[in-house]
Amino acid sequence: MVEVLPSILSADFAHLADEVAAAERGGAKIIHVDVMDGHFVPNITLGPPVVKSLRKATKLTLDCHLMIENPDQFIPDFAEAGANWVSVHYEACRHLHRTLEHIREHGMEPAVVINPATRVNFLIDVLPMVHHVLVMSVNPGFGGQKFIPFALDKIRRLKELREEYRLNFHIEVDGGVDHETIASVVEAGADLLVAGNAVYGKGDGETGTRELTLAALTAAGQAREAKKPEAVGKAS
Ligand code: DX5
Ligand code: ZN
């Protein structure tokens, strides 16, 4: 099952509760929350107090993507604020294994994120402990950037590793996912599809979520179809 995760980075920050409610009406079950500290990435967004307010405004799953230095320091605060999933960057964690354990100990689902320049193979030893791996398909920091196509190879590689080691983590993709690129990420094997600009860019998060979800589900249907032996027979 594929899911579109609206990223509130592209929403109106003065009306976050309304923006999340719009995404929910459009069918969203998970909201992607981008946390930036101005050090790990060249932008500043929000932190635990805003997550706490979002928690009061919605029952949807809050997927917090931490683009911050020293994420360990803030894990208790995100737990307290009501975050459900917390992802940390491989590039920001000196002791990634400990950090992932720390997130789980605080009752949240741990995930690891890799920047475009980081290889999937560095993650092999921690794959059994994560709820999902987040593949960045842009350099993190801003919404509305262009999709980097080699992210597709990383998604395929993660899918292979999941099969090889008989694991069941999800594969999330973030950055430049829109109506043009969504079919390719679904076909590569991603099931959690973050989208900011494509959902909120036109100022209507409900329609944005609904239309992009439809595109994702259509692509997933086609991806399944392509794998059926009879479909292969038909095509040849
Ligand atoms: C970028 C963030 C993304 C961002 C994606 O650093 O991690 O979640 O919102 O935005 P779009 O979908 O516009 O590329
Ligand atoms: Zn993100």
Instruction: Identify which of 32, 44, 114, 174 to mutate to test ligand 1's pocket (most ligand atoms within 8 A of the CB).
Output: 174
Q: What is the pTM of this model?
A: 0.95
Q: Phi then psi for 192, rounded to 5 degrees?
A: -115, 115
Residue 172 and residue 192 in contact, taking contact as beta carbons nearer than 8 Å: yes
The amino acid at residue 203 is G
Q: d(Cα 96, Cα 138) in Å, to the nearest integer?
A: 22
Distance 232 CA to ligand 2 centre (A): 36
The amino acid at residue 157 is R
**The domain spanning residue 107 has which CATH number?**
3.20.20.70
CA 118 to chain centroid:
17
Residue 61 and residue 53 in contact, taking contact as beta carbons nearer than 8 Å: no
Q: Is 144 annotated as a binding residue?
A: yes
Query: What is the tens place of the pLDDT at every residue in 123-176?
Result: 999 999 999 999 999 999 999 999 999 999 999 999 999 999 999 999 999 999
The parent domain of residue 226 ranges over 3-235
For the chain, the domain total comes to 1
Q: Is 47 annotated as a binding residue?
A: no
Q: Phi then psi for 28, rounded to 5 degrees?
A: -70, 145
- Atom number, ligand 1, closest to the C-alpha of residue 36: 6
Query: What is the tens place of the pLDDT at every residue in 192-210?
Result: 999 999 999 999 999 999 9
Radius of gyration of the chain (CA): 17
Q: Which residues contact 105 (CB under 8 A, 6 or more apart)?
A: none
The amino acid at residue 48 is P
